[in-house]
Structure 1
Amino acid sequence: MICFTLVSKKNSIYAVLFLIILGITSCTKDADNLTFTAITSIEGIAPESGPGDTEVTITGIAFDTDQNATSVFFNDAEAIINSITATEIKAIVPRGAQTGIVKVVTQGEETLGPEFTYIITPAQVSTLIRSEVSGDVDGPVAEASFSSLWNIAEDNEGAIYITDYGNNKIRKIDVNNIVSTVAGMTGVTGSVDGTLAEATFSNPRSMIIDPDGNLVLVDFNNNNVRKIDLTNQTVETIAGTGEFGLVNGIGSIAQFSSPIGLAIDSSGNLYVSDFSAATIRKITPDNVVSTFIGTGEVGSIDGPADVAQIGFVTGMEFDNDGNLIFGDGNRIRQVTPERVVSTIAGTGVDGDVDGESDIAQFDGLLDLDIDSEGNIIVVDFGNKKIRQLSPEGIVSTLAGTGEIGFMDGVPTIATFNNPRGLLVGENDIIYISTDDSIRIITPEF
């Protein structure tokens, strides 16, 4: 211990100076080891308002440049980060985020910024491609032509595949909007397997993409189920002799009667709506065919699979609970995993009535799909509309006036020309195939 005797004001000043010098000297050894941590802060955002998908620049201090350790939120909806530096983050406003605070989270620590004003984009109907004259031309969508489209499938890269049953072909629209022929020969009807260049079809209808990336489709006039292996560039028949009938067993002896709809479950089993046989058939991954539901008699009886009757089933899709949802004439029905059939919407009478599911009316349901919110979206062919059944059991019209036409715009004025196929894609964008076009419904976001 160092002691000082303070005898005067002057001496006390000297003593204080001595202590300061002593402190500085004693800290010299550790000075190089001192670190200073800047506090993260957000200084501003630009722009301060906009719709979903807007890129916003967030400026600030001491952002963590490890993109994996940093998250950005708009009103608690997590954004995609495009780039990040210590002073700037570029992020995409999530669709549906709504107005709220911008927040940066790093290692669990939140940094709050200003409010971003979210601008809602109204729902819109648009045309991806329209073939004003029936044809069979590949190329850019503005030049390509089709002849009677039925169904749509989408791969993981965003390419769209269409059954062009008028041309007996499978067509593709890539992400650059270039149309090409996947399989099928111009002007040729048949059931030839083999390479993509030599394969033939006869009225191909519904189509799905299996877990291996193969296209699987029902060939209506050939009464069989075909697989297109895009990797090996081949086509093969996986079930059906080509004869019209109702025979179960291994795929090579099974018979179908105008197969039209197709779905796949989480285990890779295929389900075929056998239109003229009033049944839904099941094909296992080992290509064994059985009758899933339906007695073979046309009817609308609900109940266990061995007594339930169905009519003319077209579109089918599985929901998240494993129920097979299908359109049956003027009804929406479902089969539970326990194979119990029930009607979930529609009176069965031709009509165009929205509202509670038990009073709703349809006029010839074709294809259907399910969006991310659990809404069942259906093609109401007779009414020329796209309808929706909500999880709460309410039927409403998504788009279409009921008139035949090609009008784009907000859904309440849009018109369709014989809508048939339907696909719910990424961001719940809905694709609809009509006689001569592919239309798109972009939901409000």
Structure 2
Amino acid sequence: MNRYLLKACIISTLICCLSCKDESKSTGVEYDPSKEIVLKTFFPVEGGARDKILLDGENFGKDPSKIKVYFNNARATVVSSSGERIYAIVPRLPGANPKISVVIGSDSTVYEGNYVYHTQALVSTVTGNGVKSFTAGSLSDATVYGKYLELDREGNIFMSWRDGNTTGSTAATFGVARINEAENIVTPLIQAEAAGRVLYANGLTVDRATGVLTAAHESVQEVMFTFDPKEAWYPRQRNARYSTSDYASIVVADRYKNFITFSPWDGHLYTRFRDGKVARINPQTLESKIVHQGPYGSQYGQAINPAKPWELYITLHSNASPIEFRQGIMVLDLRDPDGTGGFRRLNAPGGSSFKDGPIQDALFNLPKDIKFDNDGNMFVADYGNHCVRMVSPDGVVTTVAGQPGTAGFKDGGPAESLFNQPWGVAVNELGHIYIADWNNARIRKLVIE
């Protein structure tokens, strides 16, 4: 039987069963906190995001607003309850073979057995045609050689580029561009030839409440640029203000700040210099302060976890020192950045390799940009392994697109898609992942269901 027809039959059966059950149990009792929650069976036992599921048991109560259902740490939508049957919607990306738990009040119970979760994904090309230079235009006509990406709530994709112009027809350029699928446009916000560049940009950050985009000038310590949608993203230079002692403390040869990140936890911007110092910047007053001294090393990526917006994640270069920090994914707790355990490595040492699994055992090969979705899943552009990896909130690493160790270009499903040195990633409000597929000179889109 066609699997889509089979799925339709299952859904119809579920709805019919639910309707019959609800009719027969319309007098179901309320949840009794003095009694245990009893879990029996769930159906179906496998499926994907947004599929329906029926959870059978006892003492659920009839108020769906008081019932929480989790697949691992991912929360499902509870539609209704008869007291003995919960009707719920499977959440997105709960991890492999999740356990299902039911929480009512202070009671929490876990079903025996695992739900078999099937990830459905598709990789497509947004813009770019393999030409390694930047040219504005429609999505089909533009050429892109982007490195880092960021998104706002309105669907604008922001890209920084530093193209080497391998065509040789014009001079290499540096800049920041806006890409919009709905408007079918790729347009520069700031652009200059290498000899006269005013902004040497890497990582980008957006305050999603205001839509303001910020880019740090890599090699000028205090300079950053903001692009406000209320001003049609007109670039404005702003200079961070450090105390004399903080300014002097940053090693002159290492005043490179490749990234700047907005934290909604305290409304501040955070940047890190190559000598390991992390600075906090007030975006209104521009008052700036060094809040942490970490290990030496250039960066590949930096991001805030929106599920825990006091956590700043950093990927360090292969030149990091001490060597145990090389090619690592680090996290800094902004609540106590210089406290014990405030800065730590998450993945296993020994880079330039590949291994999925628990993050403490996982290996990457030159991990570059990192971004989170709103559920706290972290997506990693694993440059050297030519694939996109995901770290779930419970710390499990999986490959979600691309074939580890195989470079190429191919759209399609996760098992057949190919990338060539992916560099940048960004995630929109719907959880769609955009990838700057650097050596393919394209912007790709990964939709996971």
Deviations 1:411-433 (A, max 9, x none): 12222122111112132211111
| Paired residue total | 327
Q: Give yes or no for contact 1:262–1:315 (8 Å, CA) kept in 2.
A: no
Q: Give yes or no for contact 2:382–2:421 (8 Å, CA) kept in 1.
A: no
Q: Give yes or no for contact 1:206–1:262 (8 Å, CA) kept in 2.
A: yes
Could you tell me which residue of structure 1 aligns to residue 45 of structure 2? none
Secondary structure of the 1:398 match is: strand
Compared CA separation, residues 371 and 417, structure 1 to 2 (3 A): same
> Is residue 2:177 matched to residue 1:174?
no
> Is residue 2:434 matched to residue 1:431?
yes
Q: Give yes or no for contact 1:240–1:256 (8 Å, CA) kept in 2.
A: no
CA distance in 2, matches of 1:218, 1:129: 25
CA distance in 2, matches of 1:323, 1:221: 25
Could you tell me which residue of structure 2 aligns to residue 345 of structure 1? 347
Could you tell me which residue of structure 2 aligns to residue 279 of structure 1? 277
> Is residue 2:265 matched to residue 1:259?
no
Q: Give yes or no for contact 2:153–2:429 (8 Å, CA) kept in 1.
A: no
Could you tell me which residue of structure 2 aligns to residue 368 of structure 1? 370
Secondary structure of the 1:423 match is: strand
CA distance in 1, matches of 2:9, 2:135: 40
Q: Give yes or no for contact 1:247–1:256 (8 Å, CA) kept in 2.
A: no
Could you tell me which residue of structure 1 aligns to residue 121 of structure 2? 123
Larger radius of gyration: 1
Could you tell me which residue of structure 2 aligns to residue 208 of structure 1? 205
CA distance in 1, matches of 2:406, 2:245: 42
Q: Give yes or no for contact 2:433–2:445 (8 Å, CA) kept in 1.
A: yes
CA shift for structure 1 position 310: 4.9
Deviations 1:135-159 (A, max 9, x none): 433222111112x212222222212
CA shift for structure 1 position 128: 1.1
CA shift for structure 1 position 99: 5.1
Deviations 1:273-329 (A, max 9, x none): 32x3233222123212222322xxxxxxxxxxxxx4253333222222321122124
CA shift for structure 1 position 255: 10
CA shift for structure 1 position 442: 1.0
- Which piece of structure 1 moves more, 422-431 or 131-140? 131-140
Q: Give yes or no for contact 2:382–2:388 (8 Å, CA) kept in 1.
A: yes
Q: Give yes or no for contact 1:169–1:181 (8 Å, CA) kept in 2.
A: no
Could you tell me which residue of structure 1 aligns to residue 4 of structure 2? none
> Is residue 2:226 matched to residue 1:227?
yes
Q: Give yes or no for contact 1:158–1:174 (8 Å, CA) kept in 2.
A: yes
CA distance in 1, matches of 2:50, 2:394: 21
TM-score, normalised with respect to structure 2: 0.63
Compared CA separation, residues 96 and 111, structure 1 to 2 (3 A): closer
Q: Structure 2 residue aligned with 1:381, among 383, 396, 399?
A: 383
- Which piece of structure 1 moves more, 257-266 or 132-141? 132-141
CA shift for structure 1 position 343: 1.5
CA distance in 2, matches of 1:317, 1:287: 20
- Give identity over the alignment, percent: 21
Could you tell me which residue of structure 1 aligns to residue 112 of structure 2? none
Could you tell me which residue of structure 2 aligns to residue 421 of structure 1? 424
> Is residue 2:97 matched to residue 1:97?
no
Secondary structure of the 1:350 match is: coil
Paired residues for 1:45-124 under 5 Å: 49=8, 96-98=50-52, 122-124=120-122
Compared CA separation, residues 50 and 175, structure 1 to 2 (3 A): farther
Paired residues for 1:17-28 under 5 Å: none
CA distance in 2, matches of 1:292, 1:117: 43
Compared CA separation, residues 51 and 131, structure 1 to 2 (3 A): farther
CA distance in 2, matches of 1:116, 1:237: 50
TM-score, normalised with respect to structure 1: 0.63
> Is residue 2:154 matched to residue 1:157?
yes
Could you tell me which residue of structure 1 aligns to residue 414 of structure 2? 411
Could you tell me which residue of structure 1 aligns to residue 394 of structure 2? 392
Two-structure CA RMSD over aligned residues (Å): 4.0
CA shift for structure 1 position 270: 0.7
Compared CA separation, residues 183 and 392, structure 1 to 2 (3 A): closer
> Is residue 2:326 matched to residue 1:324?
no
Equivalent residue letter for 1:278: G
Deviations 1:316-373 (A, max 9, x none): 2222232112212421111112111112222143311222222221121211112233
Higher RCO structure (Cα 8 Å, ≥6 apart): 2
Compared CA separation, residues 382 and 51, structure 1 to 2 (3 A): farther
CA distance in 1, matches of 2:183, 2:447: 17
> Is residue 2:92 matched to residue 1:133?
no
Q: Give yes or no for contact 2:373–2:429 (8 Å, CA) kept in 1.
A: no
Equivalent residue letter for 1:353: K
Q: Give yes or no for contact 1:281–1:292 (8 Å, CA) kept in 2.
A: yes
Secondary structure of the 1:248 match is: helix
Equivalent residue letter for 2:52: Q
CA distance in 1, matches of 2:176, 2:375: 30
Deviations 1:214-233 (A, max 9, x none): 21002224453211233235
Equivalent residue letter for 2:290: T
Compared CA separation, residues 288 and 178, structure 1 to 2 (3 A): same
CA distance in 1, matches of 2:254, 2:9: 53
Ranges in structure 1 where 5+ consecutive residues have no aligned partner: 1-47, 57-93, 192-200, 295-307
CA distance in 2, matches of 1:416, 1:367: 15
Equivalent residue letter for 1:379: A
